[in-house]
Structure 1
């Protein structure tokens, strides 16, 4: 009898058609370092530092597939003018031995239409707190245009030197808004039954694979649940994951949770930085956050591997490679993920605190992350994403 041992998370691995030096992925975190919706030197340095720090692959976030698909005006969107800067970024990442992934997608109702100057689109018409405006229901023509735009963005990612693309199917962005019974009130072929609500995801994944061929890996970030009453939940996520596996267009799925539109802290866990959010807002919004912020920016207790319990149920349902996200901070967490049957792990906050954390772990398997999950990095997405404690040596607030 042969006993199969879990893979070594620090050893080289294959993801679809690409080779990675290890199984650790820097997950997508909007950097706010793309003035004019183009790559800046700061954005290049952000990903160069993470690559030099030892990850197997770093994910550029967020690369919108259309102008109205940005969450705000100074966010990358995939067009020919963006290619030279993106090529400089991927060259910098490759020079340190890491792979580069572009997270592509459409923000849908999470877009701030006041900032982008374009109407925000969703599965159905609704009010959005992002731009304090109504979000329009996408027409069938909009859906087709956005699906094709994912293919165009994939072609541009290949031209820019990316090794992978990750399709954003989570957080109540455009595709995720179709999955959600809370948000999707359509009565056409994209609404009603789960098969209809999942149609957009499956068609988009097929378009991305068509454009990608076998040149780059194709990943998707998929919600397991929205954390919203009446929203998309784990039982339906299991079925959708099975359909995506059957379709055969993805090389891996990164599992996630939460709604950037309705319950953002559900994804992050840990302290809710209400004071820090209030400090960067205009006076009227600051007053609103002070009075009502705790109802929108809710606080959830943090624990290591906080998505594992839900992710196990997806793991039991499919055989395709899965990426475990959520509270991965040290080698012990990574080894546990491998033992549970996950092929890769993804990290975000811990790498904001220490871009070189993976190199530290490779040298000392008992090394611990300095991230304290205070979430004070969250408000910095409006000014350049960073850990506010980095370089201080502080281990408390």
Structure 2
């Protein structure tokens, strides 16, 4: 069959996108006390205006103990007006809006959540310098139900798709990992047991939303750590999810926020910048041993393609290629290899209108230099540090229409820029 043109419409379940490009989920650092801000709305409206078929809000925790940052949006009634304003703004620009939901598990910020991080087995998080406790079956049942509720609220907020986070050793991904999951109950041991939580989460999401919006799963292919989850187990899990009928598309990722954070990103390691945004004593630790935790991997275009092709060959679901999508050539390669969509992250942080630029000029490629200095900015408002913000997005922290400001003083220390 002739591969589709990336600039033609594409279908994910009940959703038809105007083209096959997606702004990938990258935590924005622009919410405040669990609520949407004007900056967060402007952030996603810019990508919609810049030509993407869909932009992904990242990420909205399904419960307070699943947050990886104290300001992250949580699915509460108070967050709904701002989320609705966000989806309205994206739709006004002609694009679709997706929202990533999940539970941080061992990656969660235990201190600001005032609740121990949850994990398959108790462990110490060297990066966050906290200890997680083993999740009980009751904890897991609550979190599964919370995913379903979050998906239902996503429909009510006007989202066109929900992306369930099954990667990066957040809770569901940690259960998949034989390195992190040392349980001996029905959630541990063999792969079917380790995949039980992910499958229950996806089933709860499908039960709540049916076919009203598209359901996407973002799942690891490789944790990037010896003894962790890898392709040989990712393939059957992807096949089980497809057979369950609980998702409409699959996006494969890699890396572990616990064990190997740079494995996904490839390119330079901005140790100095990471240390600069960390509190003590984590700041000192990053300076001393950061090179051991944040490893360097050379960047190449389409760097997840070869591994993702193994999943592509094993399932019939529509698939989204993530990783190093920077030009029309990479997009065309993805289409030729059987991927129906491409997802872009750092390239769009550098140029929010890159999709329109590539559409107008097929030889155009991203200006991103893969310095990864955008990564530490998610503590102060995710952005490309090479862009002069005086001539691009302005950090206003204003209130969108219908936005209910949280009680208490505005936290100026958390403003972007």
2:117 alignment partner in structure 1: 120
Cα deviation, residue 283, structure 1:
4.6
Uncovered stretches (5+) of structure 2, i.e. residues with no partner: 390-417
Q: Calculate the TM-score normalised by the size of structure 2.
A: 0.92
Residue 360, structure 1, aligned to residue 363, structure 2: no
Cα deviation, residue 12, structure 1:
1.1
Deviates more, 1:333-342 or 1:283-292: 283-292
Give the whole-Å Cα distance in 1 for the aligned partners of 2:279 and 2:17: 44
1:305 alignment partner in structure 2: 302
Give the whole-Å Cα distance in 1 for the aligned partners of 2:198 and 2:246: 11
Moved over 6 A (4+): none
Select the residue among 289, 292, 296 that pairs with 1:295: 292
RMSD (Å) for aligned C-alpha atoms: 1.0
Q: Calculate the TM-score normalised by the size of structure 1.
A: 0.97
Select the residue among 107, 130, 133 that pairs with 1:133: 130
Residue 232, structure 1, aligned to residue 241, structure 2: no
Query: Of the two structures, which has the highest relative contact order with CA contacts closer than 8 Å and spacing of 6 or more?
Result: 2
**SS state at 1:201 partner:** helix
Asked whether the 8 Å contact 1:58–1:101 carries over to 2, the reply is: yes
1:96 alignment partner in structure 2: 93
1:374 alignment partner in structure 2: 371
2:108 alignment partner in structure 1: 111
How many pairs were matched up? 389
Asked whether the 8 Å contact 1:111–1:130 carries over to 2, the reply is: no
Select the residue among 112, 127, 150 that pairs with 2:147: 150
Q: Output aligned runs, 1:264-283, within 5 Å.
A: 264-283=261-280
Select the residue among 58, 61, 71 that pairs with 1:61: 58
Asked whether the 8 Å contact 1:34–1:43 carries over to 2, the reply is: yes
Asked whether the 8 Å contact 1:64–1:78 carries over to 2, the reply is: yes
1:32 alignment partner in structure 2: 29
Give the whole-Å Cα distance in 2 for the aligned partners of 1:248 and 1:27: 23
Uncovered stretches (5+) of structure 1, i.e. residues with no partner: 393-397
Residue 245, structure 1, aligned to residue 266, structure 2: no
Give the whole-Å Cα distance in 2 for the aligned partners of 1:281 and 1:185: 31
After superposition, the C-alpha distances for 1:95-144 in whole angstroms (9 at most, x for unaligned) are 00000001000000001101221211011111113542210111000000
**SS state at 1:256 partner:** strand
Q: Output aligned runs, 1:284-363, within 5 Å.
A: 284-363=281-360
Give the whole-Å Cα distance in 2 for the aligned partners of 1:333 and 1:133: 40
Give the whole-Å Cα distance in 1 for the aligned partners of 2:76 and 2:207: 19
Cα deviation, residue 15, structure 1:
1.1
Residue 168, structure 1, aligned to residue 170, structure 2: no
After superposition, the C-alpha distances for 1:336-368 in whole angstroms (9 at most, x for unaligned) are 000000111100000000000001011111111
2:393 alignment partner in structure 1: none
Cα deviation, residue 216, structure 1:
0.1
Give the whole-Å Cα distance in 2 for the aligned partners of 1:161 and 1:196: 35
**SS state at 2:283 partner:** helix
